[in-house]
Amino acid sequence: MRFKDKTVFITGCARGIGKAIAERFAKEGASLALTDINETELTKTADELRKYTKTVFIYKLDVTKEDNVKAVVDKAIGDLGGIDILINNAGVSTMNYFWNLTEKEWDFNMDVNTKGMWLTTKHVVPHMIAKKKGKIVNTASMAGKMGAALEAHYAASKFGVIGFSQAAAHELAPYGININCVCPGFVKTSMQDREAAWEAKLRGVDNPEDVIKDYISQTPLGRLCYPEDVAKVVLFLASNDADFMTGQALNVTGGACMY
C-alpha cells in the first residue's frame, strides 16, 4: 500500500498499459483521476477498479486540446484535493514509409504523444511547484531510443517525450519534483495487434502472427512485454524508492533495447 495517501492523475488509461498502471495503483490504495478520450471504455475500467480503492474519478480528456486539459486538471484537483503523481500515458501509433506519410498522420502522432504530454504536464506542474513535491512518469517507448523502419513519425514523437523529460528534469529539480520515462518494448496490447497487421501489409508478409514472432525473436528474454511489466516499473518511478532519480528513461524491453 505504498500509495495509500497519494492522488494519481493518469492519461490514456481505458485499456492496455494505462489500464494496467491504474489497476496497480488502485491495488496499492491510491486515489485516482482516470482520463481517456474513450469515455465508454474508461467507465468500464473505473467500475472494475472500484473494488480496490474507494476514490476513483473519471474524466473524458482529449490531451491535444489545451482548454480541455486545463479544465480537466482543475476539476481533478478540486475533486481529489490535489495531484501527487502524474502519469502521462496517452499515446497513439500508425505505420508507414516516411515518404508516404501524410501531414495528418505526422500531426496525429506528434499531437497526442508529445504535445499532449507537454500540455498535461504544463497544467499539473504549477500545483506541484506550489507544494514543492511531485512525481511525473511519462510513457515513452523503445522507439524513443532507437528508430525503427515504418515508424519514423512515431519514433520522432517518442524521442521528443524523452528529450522533454530530460529538459524538464532540470527545471523541476529545484522544486522537489522528479520526472522520468518508461520505455516499453514490444507490448502485447490491442495497439500491437493493429501494428502487426499494418507491418505485415507494408512488408508483404502474409500472416501478422509472423510479425509477432519476429518481435519475440528480437527480444532476448524470449517473450512479448505485458502491460503489467510496464506498470511495475511505472509504480517504482512514482514511489519514494526513486526519490534520487530524475531525467531517466528506463527500458522495459526484455533486452530488445539495452541503452
Residues annotated as catalytic are 154
- Return the C-alpha cell found at 53: 480503492
For the CA atoms of 142, 226, 186, 98, the dihedral, rounded to the nearest 10 degrees, stands at -80
Q: Is 182 left (phi over 0), alpha (psi -120 to 50) or beta?
A: beta
Query: What is the SS3 assignment for 111?
Result: helix
Nearest to 195 by CA among 259, 136, 142, 234: 142
Half-sphere exposure at residue 162, Cβ-oriented, CA atoms within 13 angstroms:
19
Instruction: Give 20's contacts (C-beta < 8 A, 6+ positions apart).
Output: 226, 227, 228, 230, 231
What type of residue is 202? L
How far is 10 from 36, CA to CA, in rounded Å? 9
Residue 91's closest CA among 136, 36, 167? Answer: 36
11: helix, coil or strand? Answer: coil
d(CA 17, CA 188): 9
Instruction: Determine contact, residues 88/117, Cβ cutoff 8 Å.
Output: yes
